[in-house]
Amino acid sequence: MTTPKRRLPVMADVAREAGVSHQTVSRVLNDHPNVRPDTRARVEEAISRLGYRRNLVARALVTKRSRTLGVVSFDTTLYGPASTIYGIEQAARTAGYFVSIVSLKTIDPDSMRDALDYLTEQGVDGVVVVAPQLSATAALEGLPVGMPAVAVEGTTYRDDVSAVCIDQIEGAKLATRHLLEQGHETVWHVSGPPEWLETEGRLQGWRAALEEAGRPVPEPLAGDWSPRAGYEAGKSLAAMDGVTAVFAANDQMALGVLRALSELGVRVPDQISVVGFDDIPESEFFSPPLTTVRQDFDVVGRHCIEVLLRQIDVGPTALERLVVRPSFVVRSSTAPAR
């Protein structure tokens, strides 16, 4: 004999269990302020006892909202984009939204347009573009008129879309000034790949800090965010005369620099001090533990969702620019110049 399946509870069951009207249950579910505290508590207890779950499809038909946000990102294998997406997902879930993510292997106008078209066809309520390159934010121009959108940028370059960014220029200045304050004559830089907004922002901050201090600005060594690129740069730096301080544009390249210097018998920080950028979880376990710039991706994610929900809830608003300040973490890879 087949046991009949138990019917899932509906809003009417909650109303009956709590001894209130269907409208009162709806007001509680929608967090309406005009509900007495004792009534709200009865409804919430009934929801818990019955195991009621909202029918989001039906709700979307009524509210004309999908409760889904679209996210477009590039190279989620990198710490920065991956951490940003995680922060966005957490903030969206807290706000009661699902997230649909499209990850791109390459950033070009056609790929970006395809991704945005896909999300638009899904009926998302708004779009976040994690935009490490300027071409990514340019693709936002192809969004339907009125579609809420926000870009997560390496630094704010565009003036036609709301954006949230971590102040890359300030982070690079923190790293460079720290090394100068340790008595180093100048600071060498291992940069990220061209076209990345983070690369440009960190180059600008490093260069500005040296120029403000009246110090020579060495030619930067180009990298690609990988430990291998840092390793090759480290070998080149070890062969140069007078190098005592290095600022790598991310922690992975700093790891490569540390490995190369160690293999060549250059002691860190006794002979060369090294600073990274990102504060990845492993950086405190490098040898030696890495001094670095910390980025708060949870705050970035929260600000992104706040900006997007303001657009969704009240319609088109003035463009917003939210800048998150980085912080600096001093560990054992830097020391006074000798």
Supply the pLDDT for residue 315.
74
Confidence (pTM) = 0.79
Which numeric CATH code is attached to 63-167+297-326? 3.40.50.2300
Supply the pLDDT for residue 221.
99
Supply the pLDDT for residue 3.
47
Q: Where are the domains of the chain?
A: 11-54, 63-167+297-326, 168-295
Continuous segment of H or E residues that includes residue 189 = strand 188-191
Rounded distance between C-alpha atoms, residue 164 and residue 169, angstroms: 14
In CATH terms, the superfamily for domain 11-54 is: lambda repressor-like DNA-binding domains (1.10.260.40)
Fold matches, 11-54 and 63-167+297-326: no
Q: Does domain 168-295 have CATH number 3.40.50.2300?
A: yes
Walk along the chain (338 residues) and give the pLDDT tens digit of each residue: 444 456 778 878 889 999 998 788 878 876 677 889 999 999 989 988 888 876 554 554 455 567 899 999 877 778 888 899 999 999 999 888 999 999 887 777 778 778 888 888 888 999 998 877 766 666 666 667 778 989 887 665 566 788 899 999 999 999 999 999 999 999 999 999 998 889 999 999 999 999 999 999 999 999 999 999 999 999 999 999 999 999 999 999 999 999 999 999 999 999 999 999 999 999 999 999 999 999 999 999 999 999 999 998 887 677 888 999 999 999 999 999 98
